[in-house]
Structures are given as structure tokens and as C-alpha cells.
Amino acid sequence: MIANEVKTMEGKVKELLEKYPALQDNTQLTYLAYLNINHSLRKRIGERAYNELKHILIEESVPSLESISRAKRKIQLKNEELRGKTYFKRKKLEESNRIAFAMER
């Protein structure tokens, strides 16, 4: 994700937190609101599906996106074969950049 996209996303999330204080204590609800407002989630999947998703995320105490993401990173750290293709491309590029930077010094 490029820096401008992050800044734009941060600005949108900040706006949501300011406009809807109930989101401040609930990451799941914040994510759902972000998708709904910025990606027309409710319109795209329909009112019934949206309400079911909201119920699942909020009422059924499913693990947060952060928890799943953290577990995924820990697993991939220990199991190289479970890392995506972009991981290896990114690592190769990082190494090339590190060598180029070292040679410039």
C-alpha cells in the first residue's frame, strides 16, 4: 500500500471515529462501517446479508481481524512454505536494495 493510500485510509477512519463514537471501542464495527461507507458494502451484498455479517462480527464474538492476522504472521514465520509468492519477491528486492545501498557508501 502506498503512503497516500494509507493517509487517505487513516483520514477516513479518523472521520468515522469522530462521527460515530461507538466505533472507538469496537474494531470489528469500525471495519464494517469503513467497508460500508467507502466500498458500499451494504448496497453490494444486500441489507439482509449485511445485517447477518454485522451480527456475526459483533454479537457472536468472532476473533478480530488483528488476531487472525497476528496468528497468520506467526505461522508464516515458523513455516516458510506457507508464505506467499510476494514474500519471496519482496525479500529478493530488499536484498538487492541493501547491496546497492552498501555499494554506494
Q: Which domain holds residue 31?
A: 3-62
Shared domain check, 58 and 79: no
- pLDDT tens, 27-52? 888 999 999 999 999 999 999 999 99
Shared domain check, 53 and 77: no
Shared domain check, 20 and 54: yes
- pLDDT tens, 75-99? 999 998 888 888 888 888 888 888 8
Shared domain check, 74 and 48: no
**Model confidence, pTM:** 0.65
Shared domain check, 94 and 49: no
User: Comparing C-alpha atoms, which of 56, 64, 60 is closest to residue 27?
Assistant: 64
Shared domain check, 22 and 53: yes
Where does 27-82 have alpha helices with state H? 27-39, 41-45, 47-59, 65-78
What is the total count of domains within the chain?
A: 2
Please count the other Cβ atoms lying within 10 Å of the Cβ belonging to residue 102: 8
